[in-house]
């Protein structure tokens, strides 16, 4: 019990300096309530940490376990997900169904059909995302790869936003809404204002980042001031942003002159990202900015004071607060930064890929960003690589659907399976028979991982 | 005791009493703050200005009888200006009472908040209808439609209640609803029997839940991550099978026989209440039963006590010999089955076939209803009704043509939820151990 109180006061005083005692105390209560899992648990009776549990939105050793699990498990998880996806494809294949009728007479036919169905789709996926040998000339052969990079761009930046929030112990499910708000502002600046080359694009970018940062920061403020859970807030904010966008697209200000379709005017040529490799590819400057953002986030997390505070708060908000870190400020700041990064995705969409604003501006990039961040284990470069992988899936899936008729949805299945498997290394090891002899992996594995990740965080 | 020292500061939280207060008082677990009265006053003022003073001087008409009723009641005619004014003054009165109570150091009672919400919704309704091109709606139809739209929400939020009360956060409600809807459609089509479809939906929902339970309880993966990913997985699998299996042979795989509306004679002809309570599909009746069973189960039985103990303080429950993880696993599974039944509503009652993403984010609204209803089955039921009401009103206002854009009506449930979780309408707080995996020892 006596352990409980110093942090309470330590947090209460700085917060209360500018305010009346009561709100300050309420704020402290909100902070404390996070530490005590919402305040319902008597903090004195059993320290939350002694329950060997994780606090909602608080430090999460298992979360870190996902982020820092061995590379081998990641590879196996991807492999396993692809196998299951392949089986799903094969299960609906006609050839497989035909050969299954005489399975016991000639099982080889059946197995060959299964193999063919799965590999045909995956080959199409590869050709649609990396290299198409049937292309006309080198340029056309590498066109799919350029498409992959184009689609990866918003995934990377939004994924970075989610990853950054993860590192501070926050679940940012709201990239979708942040992309939308950023898209609204960026698109409006892009088609409504008349500005010279360069300045216009810069303003579009800034408007988008501010839009995303505002939408994300709002969640941070609500979370910091009221203790509301950011998962619920971000989910709700996604819908609010979507309906607001739909409303705007129904007003003349966001429609093309003389039309009433819910689609904005095309952005001015001065407001769009230049295409990097000429007009034959859709790849635009946004990709280079995504690389820059990755470097920036890496620097922020690993080299800056603010980043250290984020990680400290993510590792243990109570300890961070005791150490004099302003947890509320960190929460607001990290959500705003995450929103800003997601905002870059919104800009990449309206100023790079689409060049107009529709209600599908965010597509499913915001939700995919969560899986991207999880697959990338919330490290900047991991997220970058995961963004490329999922970008390849997305780009290739279109080609796969055209060539083999395999629906695009298979990508969702494979993506989510990858994340599920990566999140549960013991399961993957068990499936591949890699588990050490001991039967109960949960406990020892946990402490071992915690020990290794302690230094990393 | 250091608690007594710190609690002498006004407004300081008293951790020792927080838990008990939450159980007893519905409004605030914290000592009385200014938040609730101030927000009530602010909303009352909004009502006064917009719904009262700025209201159009037009008569809004609310029909309360349908043709099939026993006796016909005349439609209620309300002058929008006068009605808005009267209601907003009542709202101001409630807010003033809350402020008075605050000055006496007492929290606003639960009925006050509920009454405030009801009056506010009424004032809003009069304002919306009064400003419409055709200022007349059928109140009976509006309410009956709201209940219908709320059915999957209620099942979804009950699933959330069952999971969160036992300490597992269930973000996968959306996936459970979608899985239930898909399975109900395909099984009912193949067997040509909607009841088997209903059963299969429950099994599918339970299966989704079992994955959630397995990953979060055995592999200790963060529950929110599993939930989010499961939603994507179910969406992918159902979308894939829809595009391949169902599209290829619609007659065989995607034309489920529906569950008919069962009318209870005589009772169903009572105005307003009749259609809501006695003119429902099997799923609709199951909804009422489920709400009652879950409520009685959670709060009046030994099972419920154990469940809540596991959700609030797993270590204490473990000490008393309750198998924490087994309790969690089976409760989460049960929750999934409940949500699965809710999902079957989409394909067996509302629409006669499955389409991609048929649940359309209602799982998340159910999640919101759960929070708004404060993790209580009855509360979640009424919250879901409120959201169903907003959903139904949205489609009605587009028909009668009101000044409020329908997108804002659609936005309302989410805005309300943000206000609710932000503690502006009283502090909402879940079971203490929700989201925390339990590792023995």
pLDDT digits (tens, 9 = 90+) for B207-228: 999 999 999 998 888 888 899 8
pLDDT band at B66; cut points 50, 70, 90: low
Largest CA-CA distance found in chain A, in angstroms, rounded: 83
Give the separation between CA A55 and CA A171, rounded to whole angstroms.
Answer: 12
What integer pLDDT is reported at residue A301 of this predicted model? Answer: 92
Tokens at A207, concatenated: 């408007």
More confident residue, A218 or A93: A218
CA distance A54 to chain B (A): 5
Provide the number of CB pairs (under 8 Å) joining chain A to chain B: 243
Task: Kindly state whether residue A105 falls inside one of the protein's structural domains.
Answer: no
- Chain A residues with CB-CB distance to B309 below 8 A: none
Task: Kindly state whether residue A150 falls inside one of the protein's structural domains.
Answer: no
- Chain B residues with CB-CB distance to A249 below 8 A: none
Q: Is the pLDDT of residue B325 over 80?
A: yes
More confident residue, B132 or B103: B103
Contact between chains at B229 and A235 (C-beta distance less than 8 A): no
What integer pLDDT is reported at residue A51 of this predicted model? Answer: 36
CA trace torsion B186, B189, B191, B197 (10° rounding): 60
- Chain A residues with CB-CB distance to B19 below 8 A: 40-42
Q: Which residue of B has its CA nearest to A3?
A: B2
pLDDT band at A456; cut points 50, 70, 90: very low
- Which domain range does residue A386 map to? 155-391
Contact between chains at B239 and A33 (C-beta distance less than 8 A): no
Task: Kindly state whether residue A139 falls inside one of the protein's structural domains.
Answer: no
Q: What is the ipTM of this complex?
A: 0.80
Q: Tell me what the mean pLDDT of segment A151-175 comes to.
A: 93
What integer pLDDT is reported at residue B14 of this predicted model? Answer: 38
Task: Kindly state whether residue A322 falls inside one of the protein's structural domains.
Answer: yes
Q: Tell me what the mean pLDDT of segment A340-347 comes to.
A: 95
Report the domain count for chain A: 1
Contact between chains at B219 and A423 (C-beta distance less than 8 A): yes
pLDDT band at A341; cut points 50, 70, 90: very high
Neighbours of B35 (CB within 10 A): 21
- Chain B residues with CB-CB distance to A4 below 8 A: 2, 15
- Chain A residues with CB-CB distance to B160 below 8 A: none
Q: Is the pLDDT of residue A120 over 60?
A: yes
Task: Kindly state whether residue A47 falls inside one of the protein's structural domains.
Answer: no
Q: Is the pLDDT of residue A60 over 60?
A: no
Q: Is the pLDDT of residue A43 over 80?
A: no
Q: Is the pLDDT of residue A434 over 80?
A: no
CA distance A367 to chain B (A): 9
Segment among A320-329, A360-369, B330-339 with least mean pLDDT = A360-369
What integer pLDDT is reported at residue B32 of this predicted model? Answer: 60
Instruction: Mark A288-326 as b/e (b = at least 16 C-beta within 10 Å).
Output: ebbeebbebbbebbeeeeebebbbbbbbbbbebbeeebb
The fraction of chain B above a pLDDT of 70, given in percent, is 89
Contact between chains at A370 and B18 (C-beta distance less than 8 A): no
Beta bridge partners of B77: B61
Segment among A49-63, A267-281, B94-108, B395-409 with least mean pLDDT = A49-63
Task: Kindly state whether residue A378 falls inside one of the protein's structural domains.
Answer: yes
Report how far apart, in Å, the C-alpha atoms of A143 and of each of A67, A345, A365, A369, B430 are: 32, 22, 22, 24, 51
A283: Cβ–Cβ under 8 A, 6 or more apart, which residues? A146, A147, A149, A150, A275, A276, A277
> Which DSSP string do the residues of B323-353 spell out, in sequence order?
-HHHHHHHHHHHHHHHHHHHHHIIIIII-SS
Please tell me which of the candidates A5, A173, A232 has its beta carbon nearest to residue B421.
A232
Do residues B381 and B373 touch, judged by C-beta distance below 8 A?
yes
pLDDT band at A423; cut points 50, 70, 90: confident
Q: pTM (2 decimals)?
A: 0.81
Give the separation between CA B388 and CA B413, rounded to whole angstroms.
Answer: 9
Report how far apart, in Å, the C-alpha atoms of B184 and of each of A253, B192, B285, B371 are: 44, 11, 18, 28
The fraction of chain A above a pLDDT of 90, given in percent, is 37
Task: Kindly state whether residue A433 falls inside one of the protein's structural domains.
Answer: no
Do residues B334 and B290 touch, judged by C-beta distance below 8 A?
no
Q: Tell me what the mean pLDDT of segment B7-27 comes to.
A: 39
Q: Is the pLDDT of residue A451 over 60?
A: no
Segment among A115-124, B148-157, B266-275 with least mean pLDDT = B266-275
- Chain A residues with CB-CB distance to B422 below 8 A: 222, 226, 228, 233
pLDDT band at B2; cut points 50, 70, 90: very low
Question: Phi and psi of B133, rounded to 5°?
Answer: -65, -45
Task: Kindly state whether residue A213 falls inside one of the protein's structural domains.
Answer: yes
pLDDT, tens only, B147-192: 989 999 999 999 999 999 999 999 999 999 999 999 999 999 999 9
């Amino acid at each position: 019990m006596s352990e409980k109180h110093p942090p309470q006061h330590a947090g209460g005083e700085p917060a209360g300096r500018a305010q009346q005692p009561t709100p300050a105390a309420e704020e402290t209560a909100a902070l404390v309530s996070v530490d005590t899992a919402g305040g319902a648990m008597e903090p004195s009776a059993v320290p939350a940490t002694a329950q060997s549990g994780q606090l909602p939105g608080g430090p999460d050793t298992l979360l870190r376990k996902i982020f820092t699990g061995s590379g081998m498990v990641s590879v196996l998880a991807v492999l396993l997900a692809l196998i299951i996806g392949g089986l799903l494809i094969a299960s609906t294949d006609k050839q497989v169904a035909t050969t299954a009728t005489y399975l016991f007479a000639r099982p080889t036919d059946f197995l060959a059909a299964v193999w063919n169905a799965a590999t045909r789709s995956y080959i199409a996926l590869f050709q649609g995302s990396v290299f198409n040998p049937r292309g006309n000339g080198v340029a056309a052969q590498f066109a799919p790869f350029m498409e992959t990079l184009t689609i990866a761009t918003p995934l990377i930046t939004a994924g970075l936003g989610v990853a950054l929030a993860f590192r501070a112990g926050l679940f940012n499910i709201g990239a979708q809404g942040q992309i939308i708000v950023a898209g609204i502002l960026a698109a409006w600046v892009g088609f409504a204002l008349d500005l010279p080359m360069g300045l216009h694009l810069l303003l579009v970018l800034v408007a988008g980042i501010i839009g995303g940062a505002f939408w994300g920061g709002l969640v941070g403020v609500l979370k910091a001031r009221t203790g509301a859970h950011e998962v619920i807030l971000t989910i709700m904010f996604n819908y609010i942003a979507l309906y607001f966008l739909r409303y705007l697209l129904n007003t003349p200000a966001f429609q093309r002159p003389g039309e009433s379709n819910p689609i904005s005017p095309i952005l001015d040529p001065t407001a769009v990202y230049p295409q990097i490799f000429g007009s034959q590819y859709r790849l635009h400057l946004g990709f280079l900015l995504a690389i820059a953002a990755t470097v920036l986030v890496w620097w922020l997390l690993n080299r800056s004071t603010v980043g250290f505070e984020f990680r400290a708060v993510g590792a243990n908000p109570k300890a961070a607060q005791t150490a004099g870190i302003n947890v509320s400020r960190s929460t607001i700041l990290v959500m705003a930064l995450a929103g800003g990064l997601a905002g870059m995705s919104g800009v990449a969409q309206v100023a790079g890929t689409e060049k107009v604003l529709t209600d599908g501006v965010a597509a499913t990039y915001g939700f995919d960003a969560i899986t991207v961040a999880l697959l990338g284990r919330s490290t900047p470069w991991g997220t970058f690589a995961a963004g490329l992988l999922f970008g390849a899936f997305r780009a290739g899936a279109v080609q796969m659907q055209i060539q083999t008729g395999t629906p695009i949805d298979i990508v969702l299945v494979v993506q989510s399976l990858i994340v599920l498997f990566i999140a549960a290394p013991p399961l993957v090891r068990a499936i591949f028979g890699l588990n050490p002899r001991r039967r109960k992996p949960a406990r020892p594995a946990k402490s071992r991982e915690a020990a290794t990740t302690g230094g990393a965080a | 005791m250091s608690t007594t020292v710190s609690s002498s500061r006004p407004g300081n939280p008293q951790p020792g009493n927080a838990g008990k207060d939450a159980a007893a008082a519905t409004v605030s677990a914290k000592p009385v703050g200014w938040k609730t009265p101030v927000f009530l006053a602010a909303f009352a003022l909004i009502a006064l200005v917009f719904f009262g003073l700025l209201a159009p001087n037009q008569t809004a008409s609310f029909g309360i009888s349908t043709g099939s009723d026993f006796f016909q009641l005349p439609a209620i005619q309300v002058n929008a200006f006068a009605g808005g004014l009267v209601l907003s003054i009542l709202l101001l009165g409630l807010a003033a009472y809350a402020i008075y109570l605050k000055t006496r150091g007492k929290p606003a009672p639960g009925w006050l908040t509920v009454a405030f919400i009801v009056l506010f919704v009424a004032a809003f309704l009069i304002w919306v209808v009064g400003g419409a091109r055709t200022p007349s709606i059928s109140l009976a139809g509006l309410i009956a439609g709201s209940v219908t739209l709320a059915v999957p929400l209620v099942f979804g939020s009950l699933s959330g209640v069952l999971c969160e009360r036992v300490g597992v956060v269930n973000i996968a409600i959306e996936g459970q609803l979608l899985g239930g809807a898909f399975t109900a459609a395909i099984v009912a089509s193949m067997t040509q029997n909607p009841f088997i479809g209903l059963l299969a939906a429950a099994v599918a929902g339970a299966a989704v839940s079992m994955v959630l339970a397995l990953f979060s309880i055995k592999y200790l993966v963060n529950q929110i991550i599993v939930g989010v990913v499961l939603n994507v997985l179910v969406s992918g699998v159902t979308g894939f099978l829809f595009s391949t299996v169902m599209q290829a042979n619609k007659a065989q795989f995607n034309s489920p026989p529906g569950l008919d509306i069962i009318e209870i004679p005589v009772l169903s002809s009572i105005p307003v209440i009749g259609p809501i309570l006695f003119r429902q599909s099997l799923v609709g009746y199951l909804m009422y039963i489920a709400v009652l069973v879950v409520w009685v189960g959670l709060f009046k039985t030994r099972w419920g006590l154990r469940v809540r103990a596991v959700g609030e303080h797993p270590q204490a429950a473990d000490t008393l010999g309750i198998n924490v993880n087994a309790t969690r696993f089976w409760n989460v599974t049960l929750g999934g089955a409940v949500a699965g039944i809710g999902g079957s509503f989409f394909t067996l009652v509302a629409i006669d076939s499955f389409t991609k993403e048929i649940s359309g984010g209602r799982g998340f609204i159910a999640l919101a209803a759960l929070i708004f209803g404060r993790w209580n089955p009855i509360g979640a039921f009424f919250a879901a009704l409120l959201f169903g009401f907003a959903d139904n009103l949205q489609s009605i206002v587009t028909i009668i043509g009101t000044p409020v854009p329908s997108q804002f009506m659609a936005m309302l449930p989410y805005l309300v939820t943000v206000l609710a979780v932000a503690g502006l309408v009283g502090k909402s707080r879940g079971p203490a151990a929700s989201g925390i995996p339990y590792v023995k020892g």
